[in-house]
Amino acid sequence: MPVRPLALRPGRAVSVCHVVRTAQRPLSTASNDKLAVDPAIRQRAQWITMKTHNTIPIPSHYNDLNGSLSEAWRLLTRGAADRKSPIHTPAVATVGLDGRPRVRTVVLRHTDPPSRTLRFHTDVRAAKIAEIAANPDVQVLAYDAVGKVQLRLLGRAVAHQRDDIADAAWSRSQHQSQQCYRQSASPGTGTAEPSAALVPSDNDGRANFVAVVVHVDELEWLYLAHSGHRRARFIWSGNTMTATWLAP
């Protein structure tokens, strides 16, 4: 079978076999080799090996609705904690004030499976805050390309600006993140030149900081597999959950 080159870095093409061989070497003997010590590349190489040999294991949740749901929340929880997770930066869609869709990337800051909530942070002056005030319905979309899982969640967003939730989120934010909220011009306003809005205001930015909590009432799971995709939908009404397999 011909081996397709795999571009890892601009200007560097490496064959799949090289990546696989490198990833299989013991870490101690390859400490100078970035390919061998980077867990993301190692995981990808292992996945390529399994795909090449058609030995991708069927996960235990494959035909299990509850197992698929648990895996979805596990991925969302890890996504909030691990900045290298593909779930760390989901897309959040709102309904624009003109009724047309708006979607943007955010950083997933916290996931709480028991309360079925997700949290991200934003600026109170951002367009999405006015949109959420007018219509709190949001959709969150995330895709894990290695795990082959797409998550689509529907929920209602609540913006916390001056309460304990916002205070706690602000105090746990890194100084560098807090600086974003000091920008004097509102996000999305036109500026005469590109860096004009970066002039920081005198305040510490706290007044502009909002923690947005999404209360999930529907979660759609899609798992891609050669042996047949699996798609499922989970809907909560109060504490009652309805789970259904869907045609992919």
Ligand X SMILES: Cc1cc2nc3c(=O)[nH]c(=O)nc-3n(C[C@H](O)[C@H](O)[C@H](O)COP(=O)(O)O)c2cc1C
Contacts to ligand X by CB under 6 A: 89, 102, 104-107, 120-122, 126-128, 187-188
State the pairing for strand pair 12-15/91-95.
Answer: unpaired
**Amino acid at residue number 191:** T
Per the CB < 8 A criterion, the answer to whether 182 and 123 are in contact is: no
Question: Of 21 and 78, which has the nearer Cβ to ligand X?
Answer: 78
b or e along 93-111 (b: 16 or more beta carbons within 10 Å of the residue's beta carbon)? bbbbeeeeeeeeebebbbb
Least gap, CB of 109 to ligand X (angstroms): 7
Residue number, 176 or 237, with CB nearest to ligand X: 176
- Report the run of H or E that residue 151 belongs to, with start and end: strand 149-160
Quick one: 59 or 96, whose CB is closer to ligand X?
Answer: 96
Shortest Å distance, C-beta 127 to ligand X: 4
Closest to 231 (Cα-Cα) out of 38, 35, 36, 61: 61
CB of residue 176 to ligand X, shortest distance in Å: 13
CB of 54 to ligand X, least distance (A): 34
Q: Which is nearer to ligand X, 64 or 144 (CB)?
A: 144
